[in-house]
Amino acid sequence: MSPKYAIGIDYGTESGRALLVDVADGREVATAVYPYSNGVIDERLPESGVRLEPDWALQDPNDYIETLKRTVPAVLKESGVDPADVLGIGIDFTACTMLPVKKDGTPLCQLAEFRNNPHSWVKLWKHHAAQPEADRINAVARERGESWLDLYGGKISSEWFFSKALQILNEAPEIYHAADRLIEATDWTIWQMTGHETRNSCTAGYKAIWQKESGYPSREYLAALHPDLVDVVETKMNCPISPLGAKAGGLTAEAAAWMGLKPGTAVAVANVDAHATAPAAQATLPGIMTIIMGTSNCHILNGAKLARVPGMCGVVEDGIAAGYYGYEAGQSGVGDIFAWFVENAVPPLYHEAAKQQGVSLHKYLEQEAAKQQPGEHGLLALDWWNGNRSTLVDVELSGLLVGATLATTAPDIYRALIEATAFGTREIIEAFTRSGVPVNTVVAAGGLPDRNPLMMQIYADVNNREFRVIRSALGGALGAAMHGAVAAGEAAGGYQDIFAAEKKMGGLKDVVYRPIAEHTKIYDQLYADYSTLYTYFGRGQNDVMKRLRALRRSALAR
């Protein structure tokens, strides 16, 4: 029998990427990327040039289809694989990235009458203009004692589905009413591939407050938010929710033609980038946390039981893999804090030294910082440059550095910032373990682990746990392909479920970062101080960070 293949397509913020893998062992055969022609739309709408408000971030749904048309034929061509040997296809996406569409799936932004209205376009995950709506969602939920609020760390984000939907209703009721469906872009893309709408448990659960047992928020709650929202679920969202790995359907002839695949090729239900990474990291069983480390950290973890972990992002049954409760937590600033530091706070001396060595400034600072003993720089930081997602769920927090002296150097601060993000991860892991959701080992994925071994060792030392590293540099796309292989099914040469798939197709690197006892001892002391400051500045003992943000806003408004 000829080898069989699956394709995973990863929809990122700036581009889409296809990955063709061998179903037998997950070997990555070919990949192709398509930079979205309209990228992130955050200043002016294409064509009309309509200017956007600050904090807006949109995408063009046509870029999702173009990704299919450009990247899949490219990987087929590069690999020489016969389309008949492609068993299945899956996608993973940023989320919540949502759009209003007509009942035939046509995005409102593709209709001339709505094209100049920003609310008709796709609201990207990092569209941050729905904060007033999120505030109202949270206030009404607290007031009414909605039981689901605790499942989302006590706070619904302005990035999530109902915040964005309510913003459309508030600011552009004509768009809201013209929309037959409000849908995640990941589900919409699957719709375009299979010809019918499906919805997946991951985005429904984590982004749209859906729970397997109780469904979406009640009509009463929605009516309390806004009278017109009372029937939003029945009229614009109703659709069976499929667990991850389920088959959405087969490729339509049209979609197959876009890609050069066979009509009827199995398509998995939609997925989210972070959650799709877990099986690629062989981390779907309880006790193994996947941390996707990049500009921010996303923590994905299955548990056998439902627990309410304070300050997590969400817990969703079947949210990562069917049969388990999937937990998600996050750190809103990691790589972007290091990038901020490198761009804004490193003197020329180090820039020149890095250039002379022919390494990046990040790498040079890491090398210098690696020469130090834990505790040597005398610094401690709170890693809140971009707020705190878990466990405080507070975007108004900000970064702190303590311990600076006239002898403090740039590598000192760089190391302290890495450590601060490791302490932030420890806060999350300790919150899970205190709540009865064990974390035994960790698998790191994403862009940072390969580039920064010092960071990995510090994370192992601070968290007193082994850190392993995912084999694939494209964990989301690989996970999506694995779900495609599951959608195809065992009989067709795929897999029965994602657990079977991850044993064969997922994988880890050989490197293992093991905690060094002497370091862990010192980091335990530093972590105690981190936790004290975490509570003092993060839980209302001293709200100076919020007052500083308020002063800044009012100064900028003058």
Contacting positions for a copy of itself (CB under 8 A): 333, 336-337, 340, 343-348, 351, 372-380, 385-386, 398-406, 408-410, 413, 522, 525-526, 529, 532-533, 536-537, 542, 544-545, 547-549, 551-552, 554-556, 558
Contact 103, 188 (CB under 8 A): no
Cα–Cα distance list, 175 to 50, 60, 118, 359 (Å): 16, 16, 10, 50
Closer to a copy of itself at the Cβ: 38 or 409?
409
Q: Which is nearer to a copy of itself, 375 or 489 (CB)?
A: 375
**Among all chains, which residue has been given the structure tokens 């996406």?**
93
Please say which residue, 78 or 518, places its beta carbon nearer to a copy of itself. Answer: 518
Do 458 and 426 touch, CB atoms closer than 8 A? no
Residue 317 or 427 with smaller CB distance to a copy of itself: 427
3-state secondary structure of 98: strand
Q: How far is the CB of 538 from a copy of itself (least distance, A)?
A: 12
The residue (of 360 and 542) whose beta carbon lies closer to a copy of itself is 542
Cβ 509 to a copy of itself, closest distance in Å?
30
Taking the CA of residue 494 as centre, how many other CA atoms within 13 Å lie in the half-sphere pointing to its CB? 31
Q: Where are the beta strands (DSSP E) in 177-236?
A: 181-184, 199-200
| Smallest distance from a copy of itself to CB 463, Å | 19
Q: Which CB, 91 or 354, lies closer to a copy of itself? A: 354
Encoding tokens for residue 11? Answer: 């929809």
We find the least distance from the C-beta atom of residue 292 to a copy of itself, in angstroms, to be 19
Nearer to a copy of itself, 511 or 551 (CB): 551
Closer by beta carbon to a copy of itself, 433 or else 525: 525
- On whether the CB atoms of residues 9 and 90 are closer than 8 A, the answer is yes
Strands 441-445 and 288-293: parallel
**Least distance (Å) from a copy of itself to the CB of residue 353?**
12
Q: What is the CA radius of gyration of the chain?
A: 23
Alpha carbons 313 and 292: distance in angstroms, whole number: 15
Write down the least CB distance from residue 346 to a copy of itself, Å: 6
Task: Find out whether the peptide bond into 96 is cis, omega within 30 degrees of 0.
Answer: yes
CB of 415 to a copy of itself, least distance (A): 12
CB within 8 Å of 9: residues ≥ 6 apart: 16, 17, 18, 19, 67, 68, 71, 72, 89, 90, 91, 92, 477, 480
CB of 397 to a copy of itself, least distance (A): 10
Residues 41, 61: Cα–Cα separation, whole Å: 12
CA dist., res. 499 & res. 509, Å (int): 19
Nearest residue (CB) to a copy of itself, 323 versus 375: 375
CB of 255 to a copy of itself, least distance (A): 39
Under a CB-based contact definition with an 8 Å cutoff, are residues 95 and 16 in contact?
Answer: no
**Angle formed by the axes of helices 61-79 and 185-194, to 10°?**
60
Name which of 80 and 553 has its Cβ closer to a copy of itself.
553
Q: How far is the CB of 547 from a copy of itself (least distance, A)?
A: 6
Report the nearest approach of a copy of itself to the CB of residue 29 (Å): 38
Closer to a copy of itself by Cβ: residue 357 or 532: 532
- How far apart (Å, rounded) are the C-alpha atoms in residues 200 and 536? 39
Q: What phi and psi values does residue 94 have, to the nearest 5 degrees?
A: -70, 160
Q: Which is nearer to a copy of itself, 312 or 410 (CB)?
A: 410
Q: Cα–Cα–Cα angle for 324, 327, 332, nearest 5°? A: 160
Burial of 2 (0-12, 13-18, 19+ CB in 10 A): exposed
Tell which residue, 3, 9, 148, 4, has the closest CA to residue 481.
9
Which of 270, 337 has the CB closer to a copy of itself?
A: 337
Give the H or E element holding residue 93. strand 86-93
Q: What is the DSSP letter of 243?
A: P
Query: Shortest Cβ distance from residue 376 to a copy of itself (Å)?
Result: 4
What tokens appear for 269 in the block? Answer: 């239900």
CB of 371 to a copy of itself, least distance (A): 12
